[in-house]
Amino acid sequence: MSLRTHEPAASHHGGEGSSGTPVETRSDPSAEALFEEARRRRRRRWLFIGATLLAVIGVVVGVLASVGGPPPRRPGGGARSGASAASAPAVGHVVVRANGIGTAYFGQAESAAIRRLEAVLGPPLGPAPTPSNNCTIDSYLRWPTMTAYFDRQRFVGYGTGSLLGGPGYRDIPNFTTATGLRIGDTLAQARRLYGSSLRTSLAQGGSWFAATPTGTLAGILTNEVIQRTPAPRIADITAGSVGCPAVSP
């Protein structure tokens, strides 16, 4: 009697087929090709974006170089001389109010007001106020472009240089009211700025007055109000007490 030897059945685990031959695990070559193509496209896209940005930066730099960079800042405004001066705002101008200039206010002690006027106008022409028995003032102190008036050692008024002549005629300052009116502006411009608050008079050959929240500004015109050619212009600006009319120094 012969004995049969039983052979174990071929295992399908461990990568062997039914015949016992190992099965090789292979990746899909088409999927790898697609992944590689996607990577190449992404690299090309970033290279294109980088090149575009560099090109734009180069164009901007070239344009700035060709025009010499940004426009230069305007220098400080010079003195206005002449009735035909433009009315555009100027750099370095001094704002005048109906109750003072800068931090100098009417009613301040003479010495304190002079110090504060010097801060915006520079040194005066004299070392001290000149005595003057002139109606509502008893002394005055001149600067190249304006005169400050005092009474009983208090700052009480001022008057700028005038286009009609007198002190400060050749060095008309860049004085500007809080509303924007400047010496040399036409009467029509003054009316646009102040509206019904502006009034005029035939006195002294043509005068103007403007009511403001801090008081009344006034001055002389370059010619009569009713004269149209040439158009009347703002010849000067005054406020407060400035002495007797047509007699102020």
Q: How do residues 184-197 score in pLDDT, each as one tens digit?
A: 999 999 999 999 99
> Residue 60 pLDDT > 60, yes or no?
no
CATH of the domain at 212: 2.60.460
pTM of the model: 0.61
Single out the residue of 181, 147, 151, 140 nearest to residue 162, CA to CA.
147
> 16 lies in a domain?
no
Q: Is residue 100 part of a domain?
A: yes
Q: Which of 175, 204, 179 is nearest to 189 (CA)?
A: 179
pLDDT at site 103: 92
- Tell me, yes or no, whether 213 lies in a domain: yes
Dist. CA 139–CA 34, nearest whole Å = 98
Task: Give the other-Cβ count within 10 Å of 211's Cβ.
Answer: 14
* Encoded tokens for 161: 């240089």
pLDDT above 90 (res 97): yes
Asked if residue 231 belongs to a domain, the reply is yes
Answer whether residue 219 is part of any domain. Answer: yes
pLDDT in tens, 110-154: 999 999 999 999 999 999 999 998 888 999 999 988 999 999 999
Q: Is residue 41 part of a domain?
A: no
Number of domains in the chain: 1
Count of CA atoms in the C-beta half-sphere (13 A) of 198: 17
The rounded percent of the chain whose pLDDT value lies above 70 is 65
Q: Which domain holds residue 227?
A: 94-240
Position 32 in a domain:
no
Average pLDDT, the chain: 76
In a domain, 69, yes or no: no
Q: Between 207 and 38, whose confidence is greater?
A: 207
